[in-house]
Structure 1
């Protein structure tokens, strides 16, 4: 057999393992687990870190204030040094819409060793502790919640005995680039962190989606949240790991009625979203970067290349093996496209999207070595050591 066929065989073997041995990552039926209303609803404080979010706040904050929650709940929006009037707008929205009580705080600039978001979260949790809540809902300023979102999260946490319940908000998919890139982003995330494994006690797999995290207050204290992860750029994964290391029970799944309202209309916007943290995900390790590039090439690019090469050279074996690998890859992507209500003809283009992610990952490393690190909203974080420190 030719070298192309052997490489295609390796790609097909990798896909068969991913299909059967990676926690059924490709399935999209992991939603909020079975739940029942508790006899007494616990108190909840909602913490929303926000930096320059005036553009999205009118679509997200009113949904939090309008939560239909039977127990006591209030919202703490922490204005992280915004220059667009985010804090003032939040107060105006609360006066206009009413609903849950809103407190707007400002922690000032983060000290050395802290990311701005986690410094804001720390300030918000500090304000919330004065109310002695049983739960904290950590949610981003671009996330819109259905009226029963908080109620359903609390019921799920209570029923299942979870210390952390997180839902991956449905991201916006309206522009051409969003349709091509966004479903794949969630697909790749679930491949790295299979949702079914996260909920298994004793499993080392841990992750959360930062846009929607319900966390028991005592679990946050045990895990020293957010101090233990103060430098983490990928703070949601670091948070879940810290909670799980401290003995907590974690659950993560896809959301039905929790949505991100932040637009990413251009490829540049999506590129920046991915590249700002991709190299941090690889722990700034050049060997992991090389391995990732080779892995992405073998798994996502080789099937298409082998199929085309086989057709051109009339190598039937290359066509069959490459075609089988391509078929498995395409089939595993279909459920995510259905979840995002996207046309299924996008599934064969997954190799193109994976190539874009490969370039974004390399660019993330290049920016790191240029000293730009993870740049976001006017701040640059050169090296998130908390992501590395997973003792």
Structure 2
């Protein structure tokens, strides 16, 4: 066989391994299980870090305040240095509405070694601890919850004995670029962190989705959350690892009734969302970056390139092997497209989307090598090796 055919065979082998041996990552049936409601509902404090969120808060905060929760619950919105009136808007949205009580506070600028979000989370947890809650719900300011969201999260955690119950919020898919990029984002995430392995008590895989994390307060104290992860850009994965490393149990699945209302209408918006943390995901390692680029090329780009090159050269084995690998790729992506209610014909375009993610990852590494770190909402965080160790 030709070199192209052998390369396509390698891609097909990789896809068969992913299909059968990577925790069935491609299935989308890991959802919050129905659970028997507890006899006594534990108290919950909801912590919402928010920075310049006036544009999305009217669609998200009222859904938290309207939670149908039988136990004691209240919401703490922590204004992380907003310049658009986020805090004042939150108070206005709660005024005269009823529902869960709301406290709005601001911790000031984060000290060195802290990301802004985790500094806000720390402040919110400190306020919550005065109420001695059994659970903390950490949720982003762009997340809208169905009225029974908190109730179902607590019931699942209580019945399953989980210290973390997290749901991957359904992201917005309205613009052309959102339809092309967003389902793939969740697909790639589940490929890296298969949901079934996360729930396995003896497994090492740990991850959470930062938009919706129900965390047992005792587990947070044991894992020193958020102090132990204060510089983490990918804070949700770091949180899950810290909890699991201290003996906690973690569950993560796709959401049916928890949605992100944040728009990413243009490619540039999605590019910034991915590139701000892509190199951090690779632990800022050039070696891991090189391996990731090579892996993305072999797994996602080789199949269509082998089909095209094989067809041009009359290389039947290259065409057949490349098409087989491409077909497996498409088949594993279809369940995610169905979950996002998107047309099937987007599945064959996954190699193009993967090439965008490859470029976003390389761009993330370039920005870090230039000393810019991860930039988000007007803040730029230094590389971890540039942050002085504390205490």
Partner of 1:286: 286
Tell me if structure 1 keeps the 8 A contact 2:23–2:195.
yes
Partners of 1:119 and 1:166 lie apart in 2 by 21
- In structure 2, the partner of 1:164 is 164
Q: Report the alpha carbon displacement of residue 98 of structure 1 after superposing the two structures with TM.
A: 2.3
CA distance in 1, matches of 2:327, 2:313: 20
Instruction: Establish whether residue 265 from structure 1 lines up as the match of residue 265 from structure 2.
Output: yes
What's the counterpart of residue 321 of structure 1? 321
C-alpha contact (below 8 Å) 1:54/1:85 kept by paired residues: yes
CA deviation profile, 1:194-233 (whole Å, cap 9, x unmatched): 0000000010000000000000000000000000000000
2:67–2:149 contact (8 Å) kept in structure 1:
yes
Instruction: Give the equivalent residue in structure 1 for 2:120.
Output: 120
Shift of 1:312: 1.3
Name the TM-score, length of structure 1 as normaliser. 0.98
1:105 maps to what in 2?
Answer: 105
What does 1:329-368 align with in structure 2 at a 5 Å threshold? 329-368=329-368
Query: What's the CA shift string for 1:288-308, capped at 9, x where partnerless?
Result: 101000000000000000011
Partner of 1:241, secondary structure, is helix
Contact 2:371/2:383 (CA < 8 Å) preserved in 1? no
**In 1: Cα distance, 2:96 partner to 2:374 partner:** 37
CA distance in structure 2 between the aligned counterparts of 1:27 and 1:321, rounded to whole angstroms: 24
| 2:218 equivalent in structure 1 | 218
Which stretches in structure 1 are left out of the alignment for 5+ residues? none
Residues 243-273 of structure 1 show CA distances to partners (whole Å, capped at 9, x for unaligned) of: 0000000000000010000000000000000
Secondary structure in structure 1 of the residue aligned to 2:49: strand
Which ranges of structure 2 fall in alignment gaps of 5 or more residues? none
Is 1:200 aligned to residue 200 of structure 2?
A: yes
CA deviation after TM superposition for structure 1 residue 97, in Å: 2.5
Aligned residues: 388
CA distance in structure 2 between the aligned counterparts of 1:246 and 1:375, rounded to whole angstroms: 31
Q: What TM-score, normalized to structure 2?
A: 0.98
Which residues in structure 2 correspond to 1:360-379 (within 5 Å)?
360-379=360-379
Shift of 1:386: 12
Give 1:384 deviation, angstroms: 4.0
Q: Go from structure 1 to structure 2 and tell me whether the alpha carbon gap of 1:386 and 1:232 turns closer, same or farther (over 3 Å shift).
A: farther
* Distance (Å, rounded) in 2 between the aligned partners of 1:298 and 1:119: 40
Can you list the C-alpha shifts for 1:292-346, whole angstroms capped at 9, x where unaligned? 0000000000000001111111111111100000000000000000000000000
Mapped to 2, the partners of 1:84 and 1:180 lie a distance apart of 31
